Each structure stands twice: as C-alpha cells, then as structure tokens.
A and B are shown apart, each in its own frame.
Chain A
Amino acid sequence: MDLESLTRTSGEWLKATGPDSDIVMSSRIRLARNLAQFSFPSRADEVARREIEELLRSQIAKKPAGRELTYISVSALSQIDRQMLVERQLISREHSENQGQRGVGISDEENVSIMVNEEDHLRIQVLRSGFALEDCWKEIDAIDDAIEADRTYAFSDRLGYLTSCPTNCGTGIRVSVLLHLPALVHTKEIQKVFQALQKINLAVRGLYGEGSQAMGDFYQISNQVTLGKSEEYLIRTIQDVVPNIVAYERRTRQALVSESRRELHDQVSRAFGILKTARTISSEETMDLLSSVRLGINLGLIEGLEIPTINELFIHTQPAHLQKIRHEKLETVDRNVARADYIRQRLNEQN
C-alpha cells in the first residue's frame, strides 16, 4: 500500500456491500490493549516508545490471524498524509496530532487497522460495510488472540484489560455503527432516537467519533461502558437497538415519499444539480447535498448513480484528500474550488 494511490481507491467498508448498507454505512469494533511491562504511551519516554513500537511492529509483521498489514510510521508522515489517514478512519485524530514514535498497520482493503502508541500501546480496529458486527468481532477476537499468544498484556483479574484511561478498562472494547439518518433528521424525529439511546447508556457521535460534529446526517452509535459486561453482551446491546432505528428511518422515508413525494424529489434533484454544476463549494455544503443525493438514490428518485460513488465522495472531498489529489497545499478558498471541480468530474463521468 502506498499513500499516493489511496486517493484513487476507497476502503472496502465504503463499497455498500454489507447488510442494510443503505442506512448502516459501516460497523466497527476496536480493542484497547497495553503491554504489561511498559508505562502507557503518554508517560513512556522516547526510548520506551521505540521499544514498544519495535515489539508490536514485529507482531504486526507476523500476519496476526492471517492478516497481511502494511506498517506505516505515523511519526514520519507529513501533516497532510496523517490527516488523510484520519479522513479515511484508519487512525484517530489524537494519533495524528500526538508527538513521539508511533505508527499504524493497515490491511489493503482498509478494514483492519492497528494503531501503535496511541492513547494505549495497541488500538486494534476492524471495519465492515453495513450491519456486520458479528464479522467484526470474529476477526478482531482472532487478531487479539494472535498478538496475545506472544505478548503479555496488562491485565488484572478484577479489572480486566488495563488501559490508559479508566473509561476503557475491563473489555477495552468500543462497538460502533455509523448510520445515515436523513429522514429522521429532516422530520426532527432524531431527538427521540437520542433520548432512547441515552436511556440505555449508548453514546451518539458524529462521523469522526468523539468530539466531532454530525455531518451529512451521519451518526455513530457506540457503547459507553466497558467494565462489568462481556464483549458479547455489549455487542448484543447495539445489535438489538440498530434494527429498530433502521426500521424507524425506513418508515420515515416512506412517509416522506407518500406525503410529499414532489417536494422530496425536488430537493434531492436540486442537490444533485448543484453538485454537478457548482464551481466552488464548502465541505459542509458538500456533506449536506451528498446526504440528500444518497437518500435520493436509495429511494429510486435519482438514477444512473451508484451508492459507493457517493460514499467515496464523502471521504475524498475532505481537505487532506483534495490536497493529495492536487499535489499541493491549498487554502480554504482554493480547496472549495478544487472540491467543486473534483465532484463535477466524478459525477459527470458517472452519468
């Protein structure tokens, strides 16, 4: 894998091949793990960080659970390259902005990434298209076992896997699904969803996780508690709630179609029209319009355009991707022009 080619491809989780992928964009599970004999990354000096990286890099090279991963030294990357990995959901913002020796192992399909020296020594992540948490768990469990066969994790009989932040200890698991909910946002019913999720201890965040805004009507739902419940229980909690939200979004879409088909058709067509013709466009407007177009395709109101293309545009129109595509650093004004050019080119070659 080389970073240059990433601007011409997209991760497997964007291909819309998984179950319910019209609404569930992706499923993701991550595990936080630490090596027993070292301080946590924030307290480890550079010598220790190098040693941790060396140990874990050699584990990644051993193809855990048969997974071939390319190891990239994040500390050696430019700011734009790091930002591009964040935009593709392969590393966290914290990992990009941190200091010191750190890296990430990434599979060619971009559905496995293993961060080294993030907030914890290891952050293993598995992504899938659509609603496929079982698959995520099977794979991440096997990768975790493979690494743990050679390394001693920090683990306590009482508190489970020990993590840098007490909010992650126990299972160290974060189970999340990324949902596209334009109809519930449009009718403001989304507030009811938030309230229901809060009652059962689930967190709702934006496209890029903690602290990020909900853009393009995407919402990430995940567990908050990691101690005192088993991994299977936490996965099942999300698995039980997602079909209800999916059904709610589908019912709301159908209601919109039957009650105000003309207005809806007009709205998605206008969104498509602007994207195909605009000469300058901000990231926020792009996300909003792409969300309408995605809804339009799923309802059969827009034809001749594929969902994976739209999924990819959500990612490829982010700032770092545009600058990689143009091979130059661009200020906001120029990025807005480059974004509009890129979208016009992609949508007009589709039609």
Chain B
Amino acid sequence: MLHITELRHGEVQALHLCESCAQDYLNPSQAAKSASTADSGAAGDASELEELDQKVCPNCGISFKEFRAQGRLGCPHDYVVFADELMKLLENIHGETTHVGKVPKRSPQASQLQFQLIKLRNELRSSVEEERYEDAARIRDSIRELEESRSRSDTPAATSESE
C-alpha cells in the first residue's frame, strides 16, 4: 500500500493505492492525462499555484516548487514561510495540526505546563472514548492539580502586611 499526497492547485489530495495502481498512477503518461483533466478550465488555480511555487524561504533559499519536487523542506524556518500550504498538507497527512507530545525541557516553564495540559486533555478524551474510566479519573485529577498550580503561580503571593 502506498500513500501519495498530491498538492494540486493548492488543494491537497490523499491517495491510498496498492503497488500496481500506484505504478499506473505514477506512470508519466497517466500523470499527464490526469493533470490535463484536472487543469481544464482551471487557469485561475494554475496561476495561483505558479505564484506559490515562486515563494522562497529567505533563510535557506528553497522555493515551494523545489519542496514539492523533493518532498523535503530546507530548514526549520520553512514551516513559518510556507505555513498556510503546509497546514493543509499536515492536516491531510496527520489529521491534526497541533502537537501534543514531548516538549524540550529547555522551553519556558509556562509553555511546558501548557503542553502538559493539552496532552492530558487529549488523553482524557481518548480514555473516555475507550471506556478506560479509572485512567480517566486519574487524568482528571492530574489536570486539576496542574490547573491549580498554574493559578497559584499566576496569583502574586500574599504579603504579611495584608494579613
């Protein structure tokens, strides 16, 4: 099974093909045929795509066209430069566009906490969906604890004068 992600006229298409269908699909004459079908009456889309293809990352110099041809980005900054197009692509590949996993320990504590909460809420959702209620209760307690510690750190400490 091959998973092909096509970017055409700014639209993302996912194709899931067996090996032999994929061979047919990737065959140039076949590709030309499908492209010409798709291009008919889509001149506006084509010029939009052309414009996007010209876009270049000022940091590494890769153009969007080069990325489309190679399937590899040039540097971390490309995720900012080509953000709009990549979001569509990421949604298509992963079905999601927000990270909920591990976070480098060197990132600021506030965002560490934020990530922890996003991750726990996701886990809570899937534990309820999977009817793992004991896990859900445990996760709910952890969320409450984290939220309390966050509100404590947001509140200035009471001074002895006010007491």
* B75 touching A148, Cβ below 8 Å: no
* B101 touching A162, Cβ below 8 Å: no
A229 to B125, CA, bound (A): 12
B153 at the interface (CB under 8 A from A): no
Counted as pairs of residues, one from A and one from B, with CB atoms less than 8 Å apart, the total is 123
A228 at the interface (CB under 8 A from B): yes
* A40 touching B73, Cβ below 8 Å: yes
Partner of A43, one of B1, B62, B95: B62
Q: Which of B25-33, B42-50, B102-110, B144-152 contacts A (4 or more CB under 8 A)?
A: B102-110
* B100 touching A149, Cβ below 8 Å: no
* B104 touching A164, Cβ below 8 Å: no
A348 at the interface (CB under 8 A from B): no
* A228 touching B72, Cβ below 8 Å: no
Given contacts A156-B79, A167-B93, contact A229 B71 (CB under 8 A): no
A272 at the interface (CB under 8 A from B): no
B86 at the interface (CB under 8 A from A): yes
A263 at the interface (CB under 8 A from B): no
Most-contacted residue by chain B among A39, A154, A169, A194 (CB, 10 A): A39
* B72 touching A169, Cβ below 8 Å: no
A173: which B residues are within 8 A, CB to CB?
Answer: 101
A233: which B residues are within 8 A, CB to CB?
Answer: 122-123, 126
Q: Which residues of chain A from 151 to 194 have any CB-CB distance to chain B below 8 Å in the complex?
A: 152-162, 164-167, 169-171, 173, 194
A230: which B residues are within 8 A, CB to CB?
Answer: 100-102, 119, 122-123
Complex: chain B residue closest to A198, CB-CB? B1
* A170 touching B70, Cβ below 8 Å: no
B20 at the interface (CB under 8 A from A): no
Q: Which residues of chain A from 190 to 225 have any CB-CB distance to chain B below 8 Å in the complex?
A: 194, 198, 203-204, 224-225
Most-contacted residue by chain B among A141, A203, A226 (CB, 10 A): A226
Interface residues on A, range: 35 or more
A204: which B residues are within 8 A, CB to CB?
Answer: 1
B74 at the interface (CB under 8 A from A): yes
Q: Which residues of chain B from 64 to 83 have any CB-CB distance to chain A below 8 Å in the complex?
A: 70-76, 79
B90: which A residues are within 8 A, CB to CB?
Answer: 159, 166, 169, 227
A231 at the interface (CB under 8 A from B): yes
A54 to B59, CA, bound (A): 22
A153 to B106, CA, bound (A): 10
B105: which A residues are within 8 A, CB to CB?
Answer: 145, 148-149
A141: which B residues are within 8 A, CB to CB?
Answer: 102
B138 at the interface (CB under 8 A from A): no
A38 at the interface (CB under 8 A from B): yes
A165: which B residues are within 8 A, CB to CB?
Answer: 71-73
B89: which A residues are within 8 A, CB to CB?
Answer: 166
A307 to chain B, nearest CB (A): 30
A36 to B107, CA, bound (A): 13
* A228 touching B94, Cβ below 8 Å: yes
* B75 touching A229, Cβ below 8 Å: no
Q: Annotate A325-342 by CB proximity to B: 1 below 8 A, 0 otherwise.
A: 000000000000000000
B60 at the interface (CB under 8 A from A): yes
Beyond contacts A155-B107, A159-B90, A233-B122: 16 other A-B pairs, Cβ-Cβ < 8 A, are A39-B74, A40-B75, A43-B61, A157-B111, A159-B97, A166-B86, A167-B93, A171-B99, A198-B16, A225-B93, A228-B95, A228-B99, A229-B96, A229-B100, A230-B119, A231-B102
Binding site for A on B (CB under 8 A): 1, 3, 16, 59-62, 70-76, 79, 86, 89-90, 93-107, 111, 115, 119, 122-123, 126
A–B pairs, 11, beta carbons within 8 Å: A38-B75, A40-B72, A43-B60, A43-B72, A149-B105, A152-B106, A157-B107, A158-B99, A166-B90, A228-B100, A229-B122
